[in-house]
Structure formats: structure tokens, C-alpha cells
Amino acid sequence: MAGGRKILILLLALVFAGTSTACYLYVDGKPLTTEEVNRQLAERYGAGNYQLKQLDRDHWQVALPQYAGLHYTVTSVIHRGGVVPVPQHSQEENRMEALGRLLAPRYFTADEMKEISYASGFGGGGMTVEVLSDFSDEAKIADLQKRVEALCRDMKENYAPLAKDAHVTLTVKSDAAATGQEYGVESPKLIRWTSDRGNGRLIGSYLDSLYGTGNYSYEETEDFGSGKEIYQVRLKRAPEQEFHLYVQSDWFGFRKTIWDTRYRDICDLIDYNTFPLGIERAHISPDFNRRGCRVSVSYLAYGRERVPDIINLHREASEYIRKYAAIIYADQTDGGSKQVPIFSTSISVDL
């Protein structure tokens, strides 16, 4: 018995080792080399304008004498990307972190700098300036945006080779983002044993229990061979938005399961309705894990296009998302008076 267990453990270890080896062998692309790093740096800064030192197999230090001795690290990494998550050779740089730490003291206070974060990336990474605010002090937000834009101009005009392909983001987070909780957001499933061949009484009972008697209308849609009967539902309090209801039968039709996808359908609608604010490249993204909808507004500014006002972005987003409050909170008695919180508003400037 003990011998058999040892053999099983040995076989499992061999399988794991073989799987690990296969994953290592089948990595797409080529590993980063000193020659390739040199080629990239010469293209970015010009030959002779940088110093390169290999630290180990996967790390190189880049020094730039012309920029007050600024230096950063290039790292060889393996990512899983694409539709099929195949391991791929790639690289990351903390170039933006090095530049940000050099310039940030010129534009931000010591307390503000505590809220600055950096991310490494293939394009040099990014820098995020974050502040907690409900937009009640608009003058403070406007002043912060003005300084972020001044930082971006400084980077583009005086440190262009370093800043190229990276980005700076200004994010205003609300108190709701810090205190928000995750909730179950999907409508419940109802299972009934019934001899009814039709679904009318079952659907009526289900919708009455969630949205109140007579507060809805529905119609059957085409069944695409999914084994479910599909209905479109509209609520009287939000007639312009529709969502789906499903009835699935088994046990020769005597057991039926019914549920709707109201919250998911509405969040999908918001998510797919790109640029709804009339401000180019402004996007609203719901938070699928919260009761209600998490909304973040971001903007990518290319070249020398005028960066939009973040206060106006927040105001426009608040107005837009308000029309979805009634259906997002439709299963709550006070849903019509609720506000959909905007957890964060961001402007990202692509350098």
C-alpha cells in the first residue's frame, strides 16, 4: 500500500516536471539580449548618449548623463498575453518612475507626492497622481490639474526621448471608492415544480416579487437553440431600457428555473456605449462587483490636443449615469431616489 502511494507521488512529480518544462520550452519570441537593448537605446537617445550596464541575465541599467545622471532599469520578463495565453518574451522599463521622481518635486507638495504611484511597462510605464475628493472643492482640483498639465509639458518639451510612449494620469477618487463594499448584484433564480405548460403565471410571480405588481411589461423573443425561453422585459419606471428574462425547463417540463439579467444587461449597455458624453474618447466603465455601478471616466490626449477639464468630465458623467439609476436599483423600494456613484474620474495624458 505504502509502495503504491510512493509510486503515485513519483508519477505526479514527473508529470508536474514535464508540464513545467514544456511551459518553459514553449515561450513565444526571443529573450532580451544586450545587443537588442543597445539597439533600442541607440534608436531612442542616439549612439553615445547613454551608458548601459548588464546587472544580471534579466536586468540592465541605463544611465543618461545628459539628464542629470538619471538612470533606470530594463527587465526581461515573460508575459501571458493574447487570446490564447501563450507565454511570450517581453520587457519592462521603469523609465517613467525615474523621470517622475526627478520632476515631481517641482510640481507637487510632499503630501501630494505620497499619492503618486508608478507602473513599469513595455512603453516605459506610467505615472498616476491621485487625490481623494468629492469635487466639492473645485478650485483645488482645477489647480492640481493645472500642475499635472505643466508636468506633462515639461516632460514632452525637455525630456522627450525619456517620456516618449509613456503616460501620466490624474485620478480623482471619491469617498465611495474607499468605503464601498461588494454585494451580490445579480437577480435571484427561482425554481418551481409546476404542471403549467405556459410560463405566464411563473413570469408574473417572479417579476411581481422583484419589481412590484404590474410595474413591468414583457414579450417573448426568438429562442436561439439554447434550451431556454427568452423574454425581453421593460420596467415602467425605466421604459427606455430593456433586459432579458430566461425560463429553462427540465424533468419533462415539470421543473422550471427562472431568472433575469437586469443588472448585467444594463452594465453591459453602459460599458459598450463608448464615448457617450460628447467628449471625444471619454469612456464610462461600470464596476460589475458593486451594488449599482462603478463609473470611471478617462481620456487619452495625443500630441498637443487640448486636455479636457476633469471637473466638467465628472459633471457630464454624473448627469449621464443618473438616467440609469432607476433600473440599476429597480429591485429596491427607494431605487428611484438613489444616485449611481462615480468612484473615480481620470484623465490620462499619453506622452
Taking only the tens place, the pLDDT of each residue in 200-234 is 999 999 999 999 998 999 998 876 556 688 999 99
Between the CA of residue 196 and those of 173, 210, 253, what are the distances in Å? 52, 21, 9
Lowest mean pLDDT among 120-134, 226-240, 275-289: 275-289
Same domain, 178 and 277: yes
120 and 92 Cβ atoms separated by less than 8 Å? yes
Same domain, 133 and 282: yes
Q: Is the dihedral of CA 315, 319, 321, 322 positive or negative?
A: positive
Domain boundary, last residue among 260, 293, 314: 260
Does residue 19 have a pLDDT over 50? no
Does residue 1 have a pLDDT over 60? no
Rounded CA-CA distance 333/291 in Å is 15
Domain boundary, last residue among 242, 260, 278: 260
Place of cell 430593456: 242
Residues 78-111: tens digit of each pLDDT: 877 665 667 888 888 899 999 999 999 999 999 9
Same domain, 162 and 281: yes
- The whole domain housing 73 covers 34-89
Residues 141-193: tens digit of each pLDDT: 999 999 999 999 999 899 999 998 888 999 999 876 655 555 556 788 889 99
Return the closest-CA partner of residue 135 out of 319, 311, 342, 344: 311
Rounded CA-CA distance 258/188 in Å is 9
Same domain, 291 and 162: yes
Higher per-residue confidence, 68 vs 57: 57
Between the CA of residue 214 and those of 50, 186, 200, 221, what are the distances in Å? 73, 21, 13, 20
Residue 23 maps to a domain: no
Return the closest-CA partner of residue 315 out of 135, 170, 172: 135
Same domain, 275 and 162: yes
Same domain, 131 and 230: no
Same domain, 119 and 139: yes
Residue 253 maps to a domain: yes
Lowest mean pLDDT among 41-45, 63-67, 191-195, 255-259: 191-195
Residue 13 maps to a domain: no
Residue 3 maps to a domain: no
Same domain, 277 and 161: yes
At 24, the pLDDT band (50, 70, 90 cuts) reads very low
Query: In sequence order, what are the beta bridge partners of 258?
Result: 190, 247
pLDDT at 148: 95
What is the share, in percent, of the chain residues with pLDDT greater than 70?
Answer: 79
Residue 176 maps to a domain: yes
Beta strands 283-285; 296-298: pairing state: antiparallel
Same domain, 116 and 59: no
| Axis-axis angle for helices 138-158, 95-103 (nearest 10) | 120
Pick the most confident of 109-118, 266-275, 329-338: 109-118
* Burial degree of 349 (CB within 10 A; 0-12, 13-18, 19+): buried
Between the CA of residue 265 and those of 124, 272, 343, what are the distances in Å? 37, 10, 20
Would you tell me how many other CB atoms lie within 10 Å of the CB of residue 217? Answer: 13
pLDDT at 27: 74
Give the CA angle between residues 294, 174, 293 to the nearest 5°: 10
Place of cell 418551481: 192
At 15, the pLDDT band (50, 70, 90 cuts) reads very low
For residue 274, the SS3 value is: coil
Residue 316 maps to a domain: yes
| Strands laid side by side in the 70-81 sheet | 51-56, 59-64, 70-81, 86-93
Return the closest-CA partner of residue 134 out of 317, 285, 319, 342: 342
For residue 4, the SS3 value is: helix
Residues 294-343: tens digit of each pLDDT: 666 666 655 556 778 899 888 888 888 888 888 888 887 765 567 888 88
Rounded CA-CA distance 165/111 in Å is 28
Higher per-residue confidence, 9 vs 121: 121
Same domain, 226 and 205: yes
Same domain, 206 and 345: no
- Average pLDDT taken over every residue of the chain: 83
Query: In sequence order, what are the beta bridge partners of 247?
Result: 229, 258
Residue 21 maps to a domain: no
Same domain, 276 and 151: yes
Domain boundary, last residue among 206, 225, 260: 260
Q: Per the structure, how many domains does the chain have?
A: 3
314 and 298 Cβ atoms separated by less than 8 Å? no
CA atoms within 13 A on the CB side of 320: 26
Residue 25 maps to a domain: no
The one-letter code for the residue type at 209 is S
pLDDT at 228: 84
Radius of gyration of the chain (CA): 28
At 114, the pLDDT band (50, 70, 90 cuts) reads very high
